Amino acid sequence: MPLPVSRRFSRWFARPLILGLAVPLMLLAASGFLGVRYWHERQAASHAVEHGRQVLDTLDRLRATIADLEVERRGYLLTLDPAYLKPYGISDESVRREGEALQSLVADDPLQSLRAAHLALTVAAKLREIDDIVKTARTSRVDPALAMIGTMDEIRSQIDQMMDHERFLLANWETRADALEQSKTWLIAWAVIIVTVFAGAALALARLEARRRRKATEENVQLHSDLEEREKKIRRLVDANIIGMIIWDLEGRFLDTNDAFLRMTGYDREDLASGRLSRTDLTPAEWHDRDTQTVAELNMIGTVQPFEKEFFRKDGSRLPVLIGGALFEASGNQGVSFVLDLTERKRAEAEARESERRYRETLMELAHANRVTTMGQLTASIAHEVNQPITGAVLNAEAGLRWLGAQPPNLEQARRVLGLIVEDGTRAGNVIGGIRALIKKAPQPQACLDLNEAIREVIALTRGEAAKTGVSVRTDLADGLPLIYGDRVQLQQVVLNLIINAIEAMGGVAETSRALLISTGQAEPGGVLVAVRDSGPGLDPASLEHLFNAFYTTKSDGMGMGLAICRSIIEAHDGQLRAFANEPRGAVFQFTLPLQQGETRPAEHAGPMPAV
């Protein structure tokens, strides 16, 4: 990439020797310019002085000529002797010639040029006037000499004005010429000083440049040595074959690789030398878009962060790798990539997934066995729950027959009784359906569910068992509880286990104080909370640490799997299950579940269930 203009100039002028030469050359040019300017000004001053002296000489000659003419005319007018008029023509010609010379000299000065023109007109007019005086001198009564003197005074006055102005200009130019002579001396002195100073500076800069060049040479030697050392280290890294390395170009050709990469892919040096190894040939089709993105990143920033992809091995199998790379130069075409073989990691991940799958299947088997065992414990309660609607249906059917046998038949009452029979049948079917769902071995799909409704169904199944042991069951189910997303049967199994455990725990306390409270509410920062509180003997603090471990139990006939299965189910739903002491006595088992993503709609709630 070309350097910016300002950076190139900075780099150019950073060299002391070039700067040392450039500055004297600039000063020489400036001195030459000032010398030429001084010469032109000196020439102009000399020319102006010479011109002023010529104008003054011309004015003096014109004044002398006019004075001669005045003497001639005055002598004739005083004596009327024609001998005075002999040079008359010569004097007139001299006046005319000097006047033209004067006008030519002052042509560049507007004021003096105007005065010279006016003077020429005045002289011409006065000469004509003098001629008239001379012609009428014998007959005129006026003193002609006095008249002529008055005429010549005006001409002398104009000449004096021009001479005064010219003397003023001449004095200015002479002063300026003297100042230029003095400045010439100072210029020469300063030139000598500057030349001396910059000669010393140039010598110092030359020495500095010599030292800089010597230092640069030493640095280049050191840099070359460091570069060779770094290349040796890189070569040792490549040859160490710790990970695979590829040297490539942006077109996808593999220019060189280390043995580690060749071993990964099953190729050899002959394949590399023949040009059969390239990014396109070794990459499966579904990874071509990712390679295109990689090339774009390299062109933009020169590096690409490690990412996973696959290569083809020589035998056609696929090699999972983690690969990252960088260009050697920002604007270059070649670079290096580091390749890490992920085969073992992928195999370990597959084995972990298989192990997790087997664990889940085993957990499901245990959960199913736990549900079947629990349902066996609730046989009497289930029989009671099923017998109630069946008995109600039989009684309602007998009443319906009586209403139909009446004379006349009471169809309205018969219709009402038939509706009650339908309700009893539906109730019995719901109880049996819930039991079948709990003991069914096949996993149920997860869906949005109303946790309060699911808890009521479990309470209905355990109502008979609670009544048999004298346990008072109360509920405090929160209104407007949001829906959750989960497996209805698994969550009902958790509630069922917790209720059965609580009922069994209260078997050893006084019958009058056996109370069970099932409550729900909203948990912070977002979720629902279910708590089962009993008034039993409570939990041993020493057992809290192991309470949810598999095969740990405090019951003489327990397997120690119930609470472990409950915790696994709750954690599979991204929730938490914990236990702590109840006040004033007993234990509390409480679990929290997250809401369905984006869920804000509350579930319908029919209110708390009455105590049993």
- The average pLDDT across 199-221 equals 84
Question: Looking at residue 293, what is its pLDDT?
Answer: 92
* Arithmetic mean of pLDDT, 74-103: 66
Residue 600 has pLDDT above 80, yes or no: no
Instruction: For residue 142, name the pLDDT band (cuts at 50, 70, 90).
Output: very low
Pairing between β-strand 472-476 and β-strand 515-523 as defined by DSSP bridges: parallel
Residue with tokens 């009497």: 380
Q: Token pair for residue 76?
A: 């004739």
**What pLDDT score was predicted for residue 174?**
78
For tokens 């009784």, name the residue.
417
What mean pLDDT is predicted for residues 272-297? 89
Tokens matching residue 401: 């027959």
CA atoms of 306 and 340, how far apart (whole Å) = 10
pLDDT at position 334 = 87
- Does the pTM surpass 0.95? The reply is no
pLDDT of residue 308: 92
**397: helix, strand or coil:** helix
Q: What share of the chain is helix, strand, coil (3-state, %, to 5)?
A: 65, 15, 20
pLDDT in tens, 511-539: 667 888 999 998 877 789 999 998 888 88
CB atoms within 10 A of CB 598: 6
Q: Residue 2: pLDDT band by 50, 70, 90 thresholds?
A: very low
Confidence of residue 371 (pLDDT cuts 50, 70, 90): low
C-beta of residue 283 within 8 angstroms of C-beta of residue 311: yes
Given pLDDT bands bounded at 50, 70 and 90, which one contains residue 612? very low
Provide the edge-to-edge strand list for the sheet that holds 515-523. 472-476, 515-523, 527-534, 587-593, 576-581
DSSP code at position 15:
S
Structure tokens at 54: 């010529």
- Confidence tier at 53 by pLDDT (50, 70, 90): confident
Given this model, what pLDDT does residue 312 score?
A: 92
- Mean pLDDT along residues 112-116: 76
The beta-strand segments (E) located in 60-208 are none
Given a cut of 60, whether residue 87 has pLDDT beyond it is no
Asked whether residue 18 carries a pLDDT value surpassing 80, the answer given is no
Instruction: Report DSSP state, residue 275.
Output: T
Q: What is the pLDDT of residues 317-357, one digit of tens each?
A: 999 999 999 888 877 888 889 999 998 888 898 888 887 77
Confidence of residue 405 (pLDDT cuts 50, 70, 90): confident
pLDDT of residue 454 exceeding 90, the answer is no
**Pairing of the two strands 484-486 and 576-581:** unpaired
Confidence check: pLDDT of 610 > 50:
no
Least confident of 290-294, 437-441, 541-545: 437-441
